[in-house]
Amino acid sequence: MFNFMKNRKIWYIISLLVILPGLFSMVTRGFNLGIDFTGGNLVEVRLDRDVKIEQVRTVVEELGYAAARNIQKSGTSDYMIRTRELTEEESATLISTLEQKVGEVNLLRNERVGPVIGRELTMNAIWALLIAAALMIVYMTFRFEFKQGVAAVTGLLHDVLVVMGIFSILQIEIDSAFVAAVLTIVGYSINNTIVIFDRVRENLRTRKKGEALEDLVNVSLWQTMARSINTVLAVLFVLLALYLLGGTTIKNFVLALIIGVTSGFYSSMLTASPLWVDLKLMEKKDNKHREAYSAK
């Protein structure tokens, strides 16, 4: 039986090799922010005939006002177009070009979204993550112990950094759906970690005298391995189908989930559990030092 715990430094190094380039990219290149963060126009139009969405996307893309994923069909012949911030002339050009290329256009609304909303969205997302992390530590401390809470939240931070880093490196556009994806990943990833820690707690009750903590956690990982693999594969199959067949508008959202779910599987097995082992071994070492100091 392969011993994951004895090789835990390798898992830490792999995590750093994935996270550090992402952090470097976040600092030096930043993110490709969508109009939810940078501001822009939200244009809704109704066409006089049924037109394929690809035709509308082609028109808007050729004008350079928005990417294809920012154009959605919202009704039988209604289309929602999210663009960069447009001037009055550019808005008029958009409507007139659509009329020339796809037929009569009835403008339902043309709203300008300011960057202030983007800042509020960013702050709300950060607060949501901090509150979620704090509540998870409280819950894990109540159900297990504080160090397991710290290890679990570190695993979640690992997943968030992996997703954000890859999106920054590849300069994939992020919008409000990305925030929802990150929060979903946090909720999903903690479940697998709880299952593993629950098995560790059960095994601690029947721990043999002299059995090393690393060996006990390793056995626990193997006992939950089949469940973890089956769960993550079931979710990934659905996400891959959505990514391939779900349409352009949700591709980035689904991609974030695919990366996050995969990272969550890795972190719950090979980040949170090994980290808890190291925290417990450090605690044991500190206790020995205190006892030795007291005996002098």
What structural domains does the chain harbor? Answer: 5-33+118-295 (1.20.1640.10), 40-113 (3.30.70.3400)
Does position 81 have pLDDT exceeding 90, yes or no? no
- Mean pLDDT across the stretch 199-204? 92
Confidence of residue 238 (pLDDT cuts 50, 70, 90): very high
Does position 118 have pLDDT exceeding 70, yes or no? no
Closest CA to 282 of 229, 228, 213, 235: 213
- Mean pLDDT across the stretch 7-24? 94
Does position 254 have pLDDT exceeding 90, yes or no? yes
Confidence of residue 133 (pLDDT cuts 50, 70, 90): confident
pTM: 0.80
Closest CA to 65 of 40, 48, 45: 40
| pLDDT at residue 157, rounded to an integer | 92
Most confident of 32-41, 78-87, 115-124, 144-153: 144-153
Which range has the worst mean pLDDT, 35-49, 105-119, 264-278?
105-119
| pLDDT at residue 113, rounded to an integer | 72
Number of residues that this document lists for the chain: 296
Is 118 exposed, middle or buried, given 0-12, 13-18 or 19+ CB atoms closer than 10 A? Answer: buried
Residue 120: other Cβ atoms inside 10 A: 11
CA 124 to each of CA 33, 115, 120, 180: distance values in angstroms, whole numbers, following the listed order: 16, 14, 6, 11
Single-letter code of the amino acid located at 236: L
**Alpha carbon 111 to chain centroid distance?**
29
Q: What is the mean pLDDT of the chain?
A: 86
